[in-house]
Amino acid sequence: MKAIKILIVGLLFAMLLPVNLHSQGCAPVKSDDGVNIFGFLQPQFETKFVKDGPQNSFTFNRARIGVTGNIPYDILYYAVVETGPFFNNGNAFLLDAFISYQRYPFAKIAVGKFKSPFTLEMSTPCQGLNTIYRSDIVRNLVSPDRDYGIMISGDIKDKLISYAFAVTNGTGLGFFDNNNGKTIHSRIQLMPKEFVKIGGGAQYGTHPSAVVDAKEEDSRFRWAADIQLNHKGFDLIGEYLGGNDKGSSVVGGGCGGAPVIVEGDIKRSGYYVTGMYKTKWNLQPLVRYENYNTDVTTKNREEHTLVFGLNYWLNDWTRIQMNYLYKSEDRIEVKNDEFVIQFQVTF
């Protein structure tokens, strides 16, 4: 009953309530020659409403610094380091690093380590997210979210069509390649009108099983579809993801987090709908409904999250975000709501 209420309220708010251009890194690439230093900090305060009572603490989401620039002629370089204290046991690590040949806007070629070009939300830079956290379905199905490989991408006819196609090792962030199989990623976006964007993508790969003594390799298939609508400051965005894992699967691990390995075949799916309105006072109220089905073949495995949020920009480089996450589970109701305030500075 609680889940039904969340769905109804979320859709009503979403219909009443902006979405930025997305990239394969954490910051837009500048066109100037030479080295450009960039980064962002995200300290936050969070309260978790659990069974034993509220638990609150000051914490840190991300702390990233990078360099980018152009070398004549048509060569771009890009590298980002994550220094956040809650990643990788507090040790800084290389998040993104690639070299790109940029002469032809309809066919740019990048080689190195980059985000998987697959879903709309995962392609959104962390400091450009409308909510503090990515949706559960994206965090669990787009995993690993970064990999080593080669990618070709581009825009055609003033971004009427945008696309990206990549071939990667398939092992993910911080792991060496361990087989001859590769993972294929693809994404395409159409913009038939300035206020409408329609996109989708697919991902497939095979890799050695993470389960000890497994005789067969795992396979992973994903597909996604999304739509973005904008009209006079009102924005509505929705995305659906489906996934089929054979052998074993990885849960979590998005944005550099630690993944959890689960043994056995599984089918998962989910979607989110977000509605927002950017006011003239630099305030942006939003509401978001998320649905995550952790096992499509089993009943009562859906998880629901309703996010009420407010974004406020002090200026072009500083933002404050407030999110309340109202959560519900079909199988076993768990007390796990959250309230988070995040302070962000970009440079």
| Residue that is written with structure tokens 């999304």 in the block | 226
Token pair in block for residue 1: 């009953």
Mean pLDDT, range 117-144, rounded to an integer: 92
User: What pLDDT score was predicted for residue 181?
Assistant: 85
User: What pLDDT score was predicted for residue 331?
Assistant: 87
Closest C-alpha to 135, from 272, 302, 326, 324: 272
Note the CATH architecture for domain 2-21+126-346. Beta Barrel (2.40)
Q: What global pTM score does this model have?
A: 0.85
DSSP H helical segments within the chain, as ranges? 2-16, 120-123, 136-141
User: What pLDDT score was predicted for residue 31?
Assistant: 56
pLDDT above 50 for 100: yes
pLDDT above 50 for 241: yes
Token pair in block for residue 210: 């993470």
pLDDT above 60 for 258: no
pLDDT digits (tens, 9 = 90+) for 177-198: 878 889 999 999 999 999 999 9
pLDDT class of 223 with cuts at 50, 70, 90: very high
pLDDT above 90 for 85: no
User: What pLDDT score was predicted for residue 9?
Assistant: 40
What are the residue ranges spanned by the domains of the chain? 2-21+126-346
User: What pLDDT score was predicted for residue 17?
Assistant: 37
Q: For the chain, what is the radius of gyration of the CA atoms?
A: 20
Closest C-alpha to 63, from 44, 45, 47, 78: 44
| % residues pLDDT > 90 (the chain) | 68
When mean pLDDT is compared across 200-204, 251-255, 265-269, the lowest value belongs to 251-255
When mean pLDDT is compared across 200-209, 241-250, 294-303, the lowest value belongs to 241-250
User: What pLDDT score was predicted for residue 12?
Assistant: 40
pLDDT digits (tens, 9 = 90+) for 276-314: 999 999 999 999 999 999 999 999 999 999 999 999 999
User: What pLDDT score was predicted for residue 99?
Assistant: 96
Q: Which residue has the higher pLDDT, 129 or 263?
A: 129
b/e per residue 161-181 (b: at least 16 CB within 10 A) = ebbbbbebbbbbbeeeeeeeb
Closest C-alpha to 209, from 174, 178, 169: 178
Mean pLDDT, range 222-226, rounded to an integer: 97
pLDDT digits (tens, 9 = 90+) for 227-236: 999 999 999 9
pLDDT above 50 for 10: no
pLDDT above 70 for 20: no
